[in-house]
Structure 1
Amino acid sequence: METASGAEGQWIADALERYMAKELHDQWIGTVATTVPDGFEAYVRIFHRVGSGGASEWRWADIARAKGTQLHPAAQFHRLAKTELYRDAPIDGPNGVEHWRPNTGELDQGQLAALAGVLAAHTAEQQDIFQAVWNGWGGFEPGAGAIPAGPGGPLTVAKGFRKYWAFRGTMAELARPPWFDNDLGLNTQSPNLAWPADRSWCLATEVDFDSTLLGGTAELIAAVVQSPALEALEVTLATDLSSEGDRTNTPQGPPVP
């Protein structure tokens, strides 16, 4: 793997900007269209697994069954689990066992490897796979530990709202980025953006979201939904993933301003 110019991902920034324009901002903010580029045949939302102690073994559907709520494409975890929007303490889950919220901003290593396996089966061989990681993660920067170093400039999205370090590598390095193998074993950040050179799909794990979005062919998206290793539901560009976007499950207390 090597660093890449942020210009490799400018097509993503350009696509998102169309939905972030002032005249469309209120209509589209928080939707799939402001997180992953439009123009794909289909889209899917991959739910990050729920942690119990050190394990990541529960799915959102398990929490929904335990709480009597409904898992659906726009579900928000705080409403699914009947808890406050911001809560750091553990939450009672299935069989009364405490659990922690799903990770925001990253897929766990098992899910990343499983997703990369599905992507590999639907991606033309012998092409570069680009990854981009948000530059705001503490300790993550080119040249630190096993993170590749180089002169490539950052990818800037939404007029500087997000900036990412970009890297050029292989599908195997998407499944397990080289920084997973650093000496301390602490840097397990999954890519916040990833795409192949032919732009046939695009993965996006927004920093503040506890799920990952993927746009691609209808065949690819169906394979992700059907993967036994992943929990995923198909979404549309207009699916609202904001904190108040879940209109199916009853809010817990007054909305947080």
Structure 2
Amino acid sequence: MRKVEWSAEVEQVDWVRERLAPFESGEVTSVVPVGFGAYARVLHPAHDSQERPIRGFEVAAHNGIELPRDAHFPEIALQPPGDRSQAWNVVAPQEGTLCLAEATALVDILRQHTTSPDRCWFCLWDGYGWETSALYSIPSAIFGDEPQPGAEPGLYVGPDTQVSVPEPHGAPKDPIPRQVRDGPRAELPGREYFLYKGVLDAALAFLEPEQQTPNLWWPADRVWCLASELDLGWTYIGGSPDLIDHIVGDSRIEAVRAEPADSHHLRLPPWLVTAVDAAVSQVMQGHQGRVQTQLGTVTATARRPRRLRRGDLWTTSVRADGSSDGSGWTSLADRDEDALREDIRHQLAWAVIDLLG
């Protein structure tokens, strides 16, 4: 991992916060600041079973459709049930981060469009949980009220006992220093970040081994800004028209122009909206609802909430080849018919999207 210079100058993010539209608006400028001359959306690649990167236009072409400028991945990857041999089991793009190839290409491009490539700021979300990863590598610990007879040697942790557990050899190391975790955060609505600074190449600092790029970054002259929002399978960029022309025209990445008012709220293809609504109606009537796609089928049943108990929704997913893709359960609290219907619709739609991995 490249060395980074952590910073407590969290006020550096203030200019971004002051120029953001409300996040609930779903607009491009709720993620990157308003006021740039042009915007683009860099599409994160999907992957096939051999981990080969697959671009959005390839997925769309395979399914016989054009890639819309503001496409959401389910719109191009989820198709109605049909010839199973035509189904392409691609894994949806990774959310909230660029991969190495796209990040390296962008660093190269962005360097040509700033006067301060040696003075950049980077925000990294504080919720990735890297500090706890070493806990999963601690072997043979015994937790309980008393040691078990015949147990292998290990740790005994009683109800009032606190112990310091050394990390075993080879355990993952938290890349965020303790003093940084204990320090101030850069804050945006609904998000807190660790802040670091450095040369532009520091955007690649966490790609090995964490496979993560900054969620927000900009140069000191603030002529552009990138945002890889946690729940989005693409990265927004605001900058000059020349920069956006450069990005959209570079064959190393898949990028399309974006308008400030474009929405990042999840959008499903119309046929799937109809199928989900029909399944929800069945579930609301006490029957099993079913949504079929070319990749597989999701079924759902529910127990309605009552005065003294919550309700339940169960979903089961089966792939087109007959293999199980898992099942899920969620609690239903609302007894209002419209609210209950919307809750079931939301949960069922996400179960279908999960067929994309």
Scaled to the shorter chain, the TM-score interval is 0.7 to 0.9
- Name the residue aligned to 2:276: 254
Distance change (3 Å), C-alpha of 1:15 and 1:149: farther
Whole-angstrom CA distance in 2 between matches of 1:154 and 1:41: 29
On the 8 A contact 1:44/1:235 being kept in 2, the answer is yes
* Match 1:130 to one of 113, 118, 121: 121
On the 8 A contact 1:43/1:213 being kept in 2, the answer is yes
Offset at 1:136? 1.2
* Match 2:72 to one of 72, 76, 88: 76
- Name the residue aligned to 1:169: 198
- Name the residue aligned to 1:49: 45
- TM-score calculated relative to the size of structure 1: 0.80
- Name the residue aligned to 1:228: 251
Whole-angstrom CA distance in 2 between matches of 1:54 and 1:140: 30
Query: Which secondary structure state, in structure 2, belongs to the residue aligned with residue 131 of structure 1?
Result: strand
1:13 aligns with 2:14: no
On the 8 A contact 1:50/1:58 being kept in 2, the answer is yes
* Match 1:108 to one of 79, 89, 99: 99
Larger radius of gyration: 2
Offset at 1:72? 2.0
On the 8 A contact 1:118/1:224 being kept in 2, the answer is yes
* Match 2:26 to one of 25, 30, 46: 30
Offset at 1:226? 0.5
Offset at 1:148? 5.8
On the 8 A contact 1:44/1:213 being kept in 2, the answer is yes
Report the AA paired with residue 155 of structure 1.
Answer: A
Whole-angstrom CA distance in 1 between matches of 2:194 and 2:232: 19
Whole-angstrom CA distance in 2 between matches of 1:235 and 1:10: 24
Offset at 1:66? 1.1
- % identical aligned pairs: 27
On the 8 A contact 2:63/2:79 being kept in 1, the answer is no
Gaps of 5+ in 1: 85-91
Report the AA paired with residue 131 of structure 1.
Answer: F
Report the AA paired with residue 7 of structure 1.
Answer: E
Deviations 1:163-183 (A, max 9, x none): 111110111212x21x344xx
On the 8 A contact 2:130/2:175 being kept in 1, the answer is no
**Which ranges of 4 or more aligned residues in structure 1 deviate by more than 3 Å?**
144-152
1:2 aligns with 2:20: no
- Name the residue aligned to 2:286: none
Gaps of 5+ in 2: 133-172, 278-344, 347-357
- Name the residue aligned to 2:328: none
Offset at 1:114? 0.9
On the 8 A contact 1:72/1:233 being kept in 2, the answer is no
On the 8 A contact 1:45/1:73 being kept in 2, the answer is no
Greater relative contact order (CA < 8 Å, ≥ 6 in sequence): 1
Distance change (3 Å), C-alpha of 1:216 and 1:148: farther
Offset at 1:55? 2.4
> What pairs with 1:77-96 in structure 2 (closer than 5 Å)?
77-82=73-78, 96=87
RMSD (CA atoms)? 2.4
Whole-angstrom CA distance in 2 between matches of 1:83 and 1:139: 37
Offset at 1:206? 0.6
On the 8 A contact 1:129/1:194 being kept in 2, the answer is yes
Q: Structure 1 stretch 54-63 or stretch 197-206: which is displaced more?
A: 54-63
Offset at 1:188? 1.6
Whole-angstrom CA distance in 2 between matches of 1:207 and 1:39: 23
Whole-angstrom CA distance in 1 between matches of 2:67 and 2:253: 14
Query: Which secondary structure state, in structure 2, belongs to the residue aligned with residue 55 of structure 1?
Result: coil
Offset at 1:240? 1.1
Distance change (3 Å), C-alpha of 1:171 and 1:54: farther
- Name the residue aligned to 1:120: 111
Report the AA paired with residue 192 of structure 2.
Answer: K
Offset at 1:20? 1.4
